[in-house]
């Protein structure tokens, strides 16, 4: 790899030495993240900045920490990766590559052919390719296996037709992984295949979707006779559900952990629990910091943040050691959701009318935390609850026929007419 | 549910569970409800052989712990005790042993630490006062100076197992400031008045002091200088209490999940209904968080890390609030059987409710965190 040796480049470097080297390297090379700066900035400026940052990490030997060396990575451990995350807290990291590193990379490594891995992984690490995932459809979100996009044999390759949605960064991505139905005559989970699709392939149309909070992080895609070669199959034909499960597990884990490539306050091994002053400062500003009800709310939010950070570390470690199965990721995603909802309520209660209106350009828009405190992306909280109940607690499924009947004999997923895109 | 335990810790946990299951099953615990002492002395002594009360005691005085962090090990035992609703003064004795091991004079240590570790003597901490917060700053019981030492007049309450204790560690306000004294429970002028308790496996009492004479050599540490020691005792007690609550909650949820798998109604196991299973999933999530915060707090307090005070309050605030909510819902998920005296679930629920408020409830912990942040 092209590491220039400036940051932690030796082969089997101990975690503490690696951490120290990273700590020294970061302030000179990475910008600090600005207060109130959004994690994702899907515009030309944000994306080109993130590309440059990823390129810089790569050149400094800080890309693909746990990726095997033959695919361009460092071949180090999860502990090294976590040390980098913790030290990077407060710095601007190339978050546009989040789907790539959090979701696609581990899936490629687990299921990809040797050719796909050697071709695609180093490009991602170098900052060449941003990735997105074409999974959900307008009528298939929680019931992902009920999706309608078709992939039909076309000579040596495949021809894809359908519509995908909730694609983070679809309009700035070079590649996608795409789940499509290759056999409608078998039960729905058994007839799916995962493909690697270049986003500039003829027939791919991308349109941004604006969310209720005004952000435009998501896109919708139409696939019209998109042709991909045979070697674009990720995993095996008709075995796409297994590949998708790997992706969703990694996605849940990353969302539960906070998604960012940098750790949050409180996750840092050596700094302990941090009581961030933001809400207390607000209470002082509004003259309510001596109100005992407000003090209880501020304390509660600190507790929730610490609980979230500590539980995330525990569950990630338990999954790494095998003490918890991969479905344990649902625990931290569900927890993150419940914590966020309550934190949104607390922000609202402490901020009062400041949550409803503010001078133009204010960094803190308190009401937005309540507005966006729902966890739907990456699988709804209800789906996490199913995974926890059925996979961790061993409770039986709801009786249903859709797992046994061939897909083409099922009632197809639909959405109410006025919601159709 | 602890992860990353050493072999020695696994052994301690497994042996503790086996001893409790063999000698103190819940059926036996129920027999002790009407017993004035409330626990079984034979089992108590047996626990000493396993090191249950010696973790905070130095090895040369007959103690020792398996991991190097006594609180982490004591939490393993406390969690098992919670699972089995085990009664008795283990928590209180460990808090006293820790206080004595850290600040007691050589004379006090030699006289008492070995006897505490071996289970021959029982200690408890007389700290709380009626309607006062559970903080060192809220102490109001006065220790008045005398020629020979101090005299106590007043009362303490919610004192665990005071009726069975040989030794009371009393926190009081001397003219010099917050101070602590280790005195025999049968000292003249001490009266123990048992309270009725919601948790049927926990004995609590009010302790009244009428001109109780305390010799100078009963002072633990330096008179006037006990604020930090009291804070440390609170942290240890909070973490041990959390471990016990987590064990009780884990057991209550296990009972509920098993019931939901086996109970058939409307043609299928009730645990297959999403309306019920989603609630159990939420409880499982919060329980995982309870394990996480308790383990974190045990490591932080046991290792005397800078965030120990915060970590203990985070754990208490979270574990207390969620455990009570979980066990309440466990009763609800059971339906009728959950409301009965014969079914054990209410015993776990009683313990969680009691532990929620003893040593300060969630709201008190939340406010304390803001006090801490302002003082920093």
Whether the per-residue pLDDT at B89 is higher than 70: the answer is yes
Residue B37 and residue A380: Cα distance in Å, rounded? 52
Inter-CA distances, B170 with A138, B131, B182, Å: 67, 17, 6
Please write the tens of the pLDDT for every residue from B174-222: 999 999 999 999 999 999 999 999 999 999 999 999 999 999 999 999 9
H/E stretch holding B174 reads: strand B167-174
What is the reported pLDDT for A267? 63
What percentage of chain A carries pLDDT values higher than 70?
95
The pLDDT confidence band at residue A179, using thresholds 50, 70 and 90, is very high
User: How much of chain A is in helix, strand and coil states, percent to nearest 5?
Assistant: 45, 15, 40
Question: Quick one: tokens of A173?
Answer: 């991505």
What is the reported pLDDT for A7? 53
Residue A82 and residue A68: Cα distance in Å, rounded? 17
Residue B246 and residue B261: Cα distance in Å, rounded? 22
Radius of gyration of chain A (CA): 22
What is the reported pLDDT for A354? 94
**Mean of the pLDDT values across residues A87-103?**
95
What percentage of chain B carries pLDDT values higher than 70?
99
What is the reported pLDDT for A264? 73
Please write the tens of the pLDDT for every residue from A270-319: 677 888 888 999 999 999 999 999 999 999 999 999 999 999 989 988 98
Partner residue opposite B257 with nearest CB, options A295, A298, A395? A395
Q: What are phi and psi of A226, to 5 degrees?
A: -80, 125
The pLDDT confidence band at residue A420, using thresholds 50, 70 and 90, is low
Decide if A311 touches B, using CB distance below 8 A: yes
Inter-CA distances, A330 with A333, B309, B317, Å: 5, 30, 24
CB atoms < 10 A from the CB of B294, how many? 33
Q: What are phi and psi of B212, to 5 degrees?
A: -80, 120
- Spell out the alpha helix ranges (H) of B24-105: 26-31, 41-49, 70-83, 90-103
The residue in chain A having the minimum alpha-carbon distance to the alpha carbon of residue B364 is A296
Distance from CA of B83 to the nearest CA of A (A): 18
The pLDDT confidence band at residue A11, using thresholds 50, 70 and 90, is low
Whether the per-residue pLDDT at A363 is higher than 90: the answer is no
Residue A234 and residue A303: Cα distance in Å, rounded? 42
Cβ-Cβ contacts under 8 Å, B133 against chain A: none
Question: Quick one: tokens of A15?
Answer: 């975690």
The pLDDT confidence band at residue B16, using thresholds 50, 70 and 90, is very high
The pLDDT confidence band at residue A4, using thresholds 50, 70 and 90, is very low
Nearest to A240 by CA among A197, A278, A271, A293: A197
Q: Which of residues 242-281 of B touch A (CB under 8 A)?
A: 257, 260-261, 268-269, 271-274, 277-278, 280-281
Q: Which of residues 110-129 of A touch B (CB under 8 A)?
A: none
Cβ-Cβ contacts under 8 Å, B288 against chain A: 311, 314-315, 331, 335
Whether the per-residue pLDDT at A2 is higher than 50: the answer is no
ipTM of this complex: 0.95
The residue in chain B having the minimum alpha-carbon distance to the alpha carbon of residue A324 is B3
Cβ-Cβ contacts under 8 Å, B280 against chain A: 389, 393, 395
Q: How many helices (H) and strands (E) does chain B have?
A: 11, 9
Nearest to B162 by CA among B111, B110, B126: B126
- Point out the least confidently predicted range of A369-373, B42-46, B271-275: A369-373
Helices A292-321 and A240-257: crossing angle, nearest 10°?
140
The residue in chain A having the minimum alpha-carbon distance to the alpha carbon of residue B285 is A331
Please write the tens of the pLDDT for every residue from A334-362: 999 999 999 999 999 999 999 999 999 88
Whether the per-residue pLDDT at A1 is higher than 50: the answer is no
| Residues B114, B62 contacting (CB under 8 angstroms) | yes
Round the average pLDDT of chain B to a whole number and report it.
Answer: 96
Nearest to A282 by CA among A396, A402, A395, A363: A363
What is the reported pLDDT for A211? 87
Round the average pLDDT of chain A to a whole number and report it.
Answer: 91
Partner residue opposite B261 with nearest CB, options A272, A310, A396? A396
Please write the tens of the pLDDT for every residue from A252-275: 888 877 788 998 765 666 677 888
| A387 vs A35 pLDDT, higher one | A387
Please write the tens of the pLDDT for every residue from B221-275: 999 999 999 999 999 999 999 999 999 999 999 999 999 999 999 999 999 999 9
Residue A19 and residue A31: Cα distance in Å, rounded? 18
What is the reported pLDDT for A294? 97
Whether the per-residue pLDDT at A398 is higher than 60: the answer is yes
Whether the per-residue pLDDT at B357 is higher than 80: the answer is yes
Query: Hey, what's the torsion of the CAs at B84, B90, B95, B100, to 10 degrees?
Result: -160
Nearest to B297 by CA among B352, B367, B242: B242
**Mean of the pLDDT values across residues A399-416?**
91
Q: How many helices (H) and strands (E) does chain A have?
A: 12, 8
Terminal alpha carbon distance of chain B: 34
**Mean of the pLDDT values across residues B322-340?**
97
Residue B210 and residue B188: Cα distance in Å, rounded? 8
- Whether residue A272 and residue B292 make contact (CB cut-off 8 A), yes or no, is no
What is the reported pLDDT for A167? 94
Whether the per-residue pLDDT at B25 is higher than 90: the answer is yes
Please write the tens of the pLDDT for every residue from B119-168: 999 999 999 999 999 999 999 999 999 999 999 999 999 999 999 999 99
Please write the tens of the pLDDT for every residue from A98-155: 999 999 999 999 999 999 999 999 999 999 999 999 999 999 999 999 999 999 999 9
The pLDDT confidence band at residue A223, using thresholds 50, 70 and 90, is very high
Question: Quick one: tokens of A106?
Answer: 């581990």
Whether the per-residue pLDDT at A88 is higher than 90: the answer is yes
The residues, ordered by sequence, that sit 6+ positions from A138 with a Cβ below 8 Å of its Cβ are: A163, A165, A220, A415, A419, A420, A421
- Whether residue A398 and residue B274 make contact (CB cut-off 8 A), yes or no, is yes
């Amino acid at each position: 790899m092209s590491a220039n040796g400036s940051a932690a480049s030796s082969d089997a470097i101990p975690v503490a030495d690696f951490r120290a080297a990273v700590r020294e390297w970061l302030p000179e090379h990475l910008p600090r993240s600005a207060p109130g700066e959004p994690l994702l900035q899907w515009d030309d400026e944000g994306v080109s900045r993130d590309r440059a940052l990823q390129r810089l990490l790569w050149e400094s030997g800080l890309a693909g920490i746990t990726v095997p060396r033959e695919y361009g990575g460092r071949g180090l451990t999860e502990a090294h990766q976590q040390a980098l995350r913790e030290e990077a807290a407060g710095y601007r990291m190339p978050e546009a590559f989040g789907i790539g590193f959090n979701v696609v990379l581990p899936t490629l490594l687990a299921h990809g052919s040797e050719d796909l891995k050697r071709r695609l992984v180093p490009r991602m690490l170098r900052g060449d390719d941003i990735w997105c995932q074409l999974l959900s459809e307008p009528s298939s979100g929680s019931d992902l296996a009920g999706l309608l996009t078709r992939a039909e044999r076309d000579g040596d390759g495949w021809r894809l037709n359908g519509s995908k949605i909730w694609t983070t960064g679809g309009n700035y991505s070079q590649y996608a992984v795409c789940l499509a139905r290759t056999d409608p005559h078998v039960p729905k989970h058994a007839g799916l295949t995962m493909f690697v699709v270049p986003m500039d392939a003829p027939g791919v149309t991308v349109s941004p979707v604006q969310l209720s909070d005004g952000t435009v992080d998501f896109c919708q895609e139409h696939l019209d006779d998109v042709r991909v070669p045979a070697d674009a199959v990720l995993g095996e034909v008709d075995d796409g559900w297994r590949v998708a499960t790997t992706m969703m597990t990694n996605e849940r884990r990353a969302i539960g952990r906070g998604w960012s490539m940098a750790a949050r306050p409180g996750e840092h091994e050596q700094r302990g629990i941090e009581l961030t002053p933001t809400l207390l400062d607000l209470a002082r500003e509004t003259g309510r910091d001596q109100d005992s009800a407000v003090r209880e709310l501020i304390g509660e939010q600190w507790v929730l943040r610490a609980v979230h950070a500590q539980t995330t570390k525990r569950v990630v470690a338990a999954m790494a050691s095998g003490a918890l199965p991969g479905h344990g990721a649902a625990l931290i995603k569900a927890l993150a959701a419940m914590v966020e909802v309550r934190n949104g309520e607390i922000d609202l209660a402490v901020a009062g009318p400041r949550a409803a209106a503010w001078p133009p350009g204010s960094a803190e828009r308190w009401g937005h935390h309540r507005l966006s405190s729902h966890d739907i992306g990456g699988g709804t909280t209800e789906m996490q609850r199913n995974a926890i109940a059925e996979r961790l607690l061993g409770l039986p499924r709801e009786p249903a026929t859709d797992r046994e009947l061939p897909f083409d004999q099922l009632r197809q997923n639909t959405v109410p007419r006025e919601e159709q895109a | 549910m602890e992860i990353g335990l050493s072999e020695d810790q696994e052994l301690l946990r497994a042996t503790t569970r086996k001893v409790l299951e063999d000698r103190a099953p819940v059926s036996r615990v129920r027999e002790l409800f009407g017993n004035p002492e409330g626990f079984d002395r034979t089992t108590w002594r047996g626990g000493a052989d396993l090191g249950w009360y010696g973790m905070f005691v130095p090895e040369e005085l007959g103690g020792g712990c398996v991991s190097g962090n006594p609180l982490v090990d004591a939490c393993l035992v406390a969690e098992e005790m919670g699972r089995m609703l085990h009664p008795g003064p283990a928590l209180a004795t460990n808090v006293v042993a820790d206080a004595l091991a850290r600040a007691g004079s050589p004379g006090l240590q030699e006289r008492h630490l070995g006897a505490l570790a071996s289970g021959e003597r029982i200690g408890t901490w007389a700290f709380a006062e009626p309607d006062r917060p559970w903080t060192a700053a809220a102490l109001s019981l006065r220790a008045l100076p005398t020629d020979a030492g101090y005299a106590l007049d007043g009362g303490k309450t919610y004192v665990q197992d005071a009726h069975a204790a040989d030794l009371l560690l009393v926190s009081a306000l001397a003219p010099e400031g917050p101070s602590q004294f280790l005195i025999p429970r049968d000292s003249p002028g001490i009266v123990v008045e048992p309270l009725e308790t919601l948790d049927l496996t926990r004995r609590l009492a009010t302790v009244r002091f009428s001109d109780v004479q305390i010799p100078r050599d009963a002072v633990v540490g330096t008179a006037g200088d006990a604020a930090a020691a009291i804070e440390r005792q609170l942290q240890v007690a909070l973490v041990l209490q959390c471990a016990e609550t987590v064990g009780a909650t884990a057991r209550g949820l296990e009972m509920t999940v098993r019931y939901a798998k086996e109970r058939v109604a409307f043609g299928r196991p009730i645990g297959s209904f999403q309306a019920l299973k989603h609630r159990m999933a939420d409880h499982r999530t919060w329980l995982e968080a309870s394990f996480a915060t308790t383990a974190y707090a045990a490591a932080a307090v046991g290792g005397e890390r800078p965030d120990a005070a915060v970590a203990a309050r985070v754990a208490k605030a979270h574990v207390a609030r969620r455990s009570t909510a979980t066990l309440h819902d466990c009763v609800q998920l059971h339906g009728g059987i959950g409301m009965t005296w014969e079914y054990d679930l209410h015993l776990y629920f009683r313990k969680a409710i009691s532990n929620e408020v003893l040593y300060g409830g969630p709201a008190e912990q939340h406010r304390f965190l803001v006090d801490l942040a302002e003082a920093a």
